[in-house]
Structure 1
């Protein structure tokens, strides 16, 4: 029997999205340097994607890549941008993730319903629900991943990765009865385990966004 040297699996790799409203690399470097003082894990421990849809079509990308390299940030690609910018991104070895998040059509009559999973989500499993809330009656083990476009409710311990708002909805939340997460994310804003305060570990918790920053608060407080 010939052994297969690889497996192809779908996954959601969290990245930090930097939404740029200014093309000046000096100002961007100053802003990133300031953010690195307080949010180093968020910026240095995951790939960076630049949202460039608000920049002029003439804005060059090479100086922005140089800023990221200078600050030891791992620039993966861009989102949005005109055809010229996307060609430049490919020339620089960057991934183009397409336009900004699509808005649902006005006549979109799809039904968004909760998906309920009963039982433990085991290590290596990935549970995805792209059209509503995800409810897990059980724990999420280390090495597993749960993802939803809506809220995520975990009636058990969260030891793996939970990513809510995967379609871009920043109003959603993650709820769990005991927080030991490897990673939590809301609409692409994420926090790895080593950036979670120790005083919240093991508690019933909710994760949500306030002023574009993740908050992790004990339930009932």
Structure 2
């Protein structure tokens, strides 16, 4: 039997390839449209341009009452945010999909491996050599099979408008992060140089993530979505000093290294 279908072209007009997308999750705690629009405006004022032009997924799992999706979608677009999906249940999911929002799965990612000090008994011990014997080494304990992804290392200065996202790992920047630059990591962030831009660690919800820098003077810092806009100069004990930013409950805590 002959095949009468036309021959395939070696190069088609489009192709499918994998892509990694970073999207904000907008979590609703109310269905009141006025309250939502007011809270959105406040958040965007606080964050400046940090979230502008970002894709967002609206999470309405905590809301049982009906949401005015059309008004909420328009409010997000008015702030240069781009709704790309929804997480919701029942009638709210149906009405959101009717407004053009596809249902998405925001299942929690696998937790990142945590590190722990090695027990003294597992540290290799070197016996002092005698004149008649070779140096001996006690064998190490078997290695842990799970290996965390290697950190992303950026060995240059980041200028205004530049953005770096380290997915599923830590981010190390050796150089200055200038005003208007943005650095994002699912894990920790280390900046060996001035941090003058915006930094978000634990971007996918890792509340144990931290931000380390040798010189702190940022526009915005955030851990797992909890952020602080630096509108006034920091305390002299922190400004341009080596510091750690971490979560303490639901508040950001900034402390000087070594204190």
Q: 1:134 aligns with which of 171, 178, 186?
A: 171
Q: Is the 8 A contact 1:17 1:189 kept in 2?
A: no
**Residue 198 in structure 1 maps to residue 245 in structure 2:** no
Q: 1:84 aligns with which of 85, 91, 107?
A: 91
Select the structure that is richer in strand: 1
Seen in structure 2, the aligned counterparts of structure 1 residues 188 and 116 have a Cα distance that, compared at 3 Å, is same
**Residue 183 in structure 1 maps to residue 190 in structure 2:** no
Could you say what secondary structure the match of 1:54 adopts?
A: coil
**Cα distance per residue 1:17-50 (max 9 Å; x no partner):** 5463xx685xxx6xxx9xx8xxx96575357986
**Cα distance per residue 1:87-139 (max 9 Å; x no partner):** 4346679x67834453339xxx7842212222212233222210211111211
Could you say what secondary structure the match of 1:45 adopts?
A: helix
Could you say what secondary structure the match of 2:252 adopts?
A: strand
Q: Is the 8 A contact 1:16 1:190 kept in 2?
A: no
CA apart distance, 1:74: 10
Q: Is the 8 A contact 2:185 2:200 kept in 1?
A: yes
Which residue of 1 is the match for residue 210 of structure 2?
173
Could you say what secondary structure the match of 2:92 adopts?
A: helix
Q: 1:124 aligns with which of 145, 148, 161?
A: 161
Unaligned runs of at least 5 residues, structure 2: 1-19, 112-145
Could you say what secondary structure the match of 2:206 adopts?
A: coil
> CA-atom RMSD, angstroms?
4.1
Q: Is the 8 A contact 2:57 2:87 kept in 1?
A: no
Q: Is the 8 A contact 1:16 1:43 kept in 2?
A: no
Which residue of 1 is the match for residue 60 of structure 2?
52
CA apart distance, 1:211: 1.5
Q: 2:110 aligns with which of 104, 116, 121?
A: 104
CA apart distance, 1:186: 1.2
Q: Is the 8 A contact 1:128 1:146 kept in 2?
A: yes
Which residue of 1 is the match for residue 140 of structure 2?
none
Select the structure that is richer in helix: 1
CA apart distance, 1:152: 0.3
TM score, norm. by length of structure 2: 0.56
Aligned length: 192
CA apart distance, 1:84: 3.1
**Residue 216 in structure 1 maps to residue 254 in structure 2:** yes
Seen in structure 2, the aligned counterparts of structure 1 residues 121 and 43 have a Cα distance that, compared at 3 Å, is closer
Seen in structure 2, the aligned counterparts of structure 1 residues 220 and 168 have a Cα distance that, compared at 3 Å, is same
Q: Is the 8 A contact 1:53 1:79 kept in 2?
A: no
